[in-house]
Amino acid sequence: MILSTRRYRFAAAHVLANPALPDDENRRIYGKCANPNGHGHDYGLEVTVTGTVDPVTGSIVPQELLDSIVRERVLDRLSHRMLNADPLFADRVPTAENIALAVRESLEKPLEDAAGVRLVNVRVVETPRNFFDHGEAP
């Protein structure tokens, strides 16, 4: 099995708070991450795909095509934004876990339809000390 991974970056802000819960409960669960005016991270994003290696190009997917799909579907949408305001997070708190899930949902079908590859894993690197995988980590 062959897996191809590209790493991207985006800077975004979020507030970890569930609007259905009272403020003091959010503060208890999320601590300083519940600060109502938000905070932000330089997120790393690793997208891993698998497929067959084209005999002519030698690639699973042309790099520009993969990059353009990730840019259009994810990076342009999330970069330099408050994540809580995005409809992707209307019904879920933008934790790194849920960011990984939302990115996976945003990319799965376009990668299949436009590039003919299967999305295997999405890794969200929130800080140099923590990262989150949604899918089969390589």
Partner 1 sequence: MVRLTRAIEFSSSLRYFRPELPEAENARLFGPCVRTHGHNYRLEVTLRGEPDPVTGMVLDLKDLKVVLEREVEARFDHRDLVLDTPYFEKQVPTPENFALLLHRLVAAALPKGLLERTRLYQDADTFVDVVDPERS
Which residues, 6+ apart, have CB-to-CB distance to 136 below 8 Å? 120, 121
The Cα–Cα gap between 22 and 108 comes to 35
CB of 7 to partner 1, least distance (A): 4
Stretch touching partner 1 by CB under 8 A, among 10-18, 49-57, 69-77, 109-117: 49-57
Using CA atoms, how far apart are residues 32 and 34, in angstroms rounded to an integer? 5
Q: What whole-number distance in Å separates Cα of residue 135 and Cα of residue 19?
A: 28
By CB under 8 A, the residues from 6 to 35 that bind partner 1 are 6-8
Contact call for residues 83 and 18 (beta carbons, < 8 A): no
Please pick, from the candidates 18, 35, 63, 127, the single residue that binds partner 1 as defined by CB under 8 A.
63
- Count of residues that interact with partner 1, criterion CB under 8 A: 19
Of the candidates 32, 57, 91, 113, which one interacts with partner 1 according to CB under 8 A?
57
Determine whether 80 is an active site residue.
yes
Q: Could you say which residues in the range 64-123 bind partner 1, by CB under 8 A?
A: 64
Q: Residue 136 corresponds to which tokens in the numbers above?
A: 């089969």
3-class DSSP assignment, residue 74 = helix
Rounded to a whole number of angstroms, the minimum distance from the CB of residue 106 to partner 1 is 20
Residue ranges in contact with partner 1 by CB under 8 A: 1-8, 48, 53, 55-60, 63-64, 138
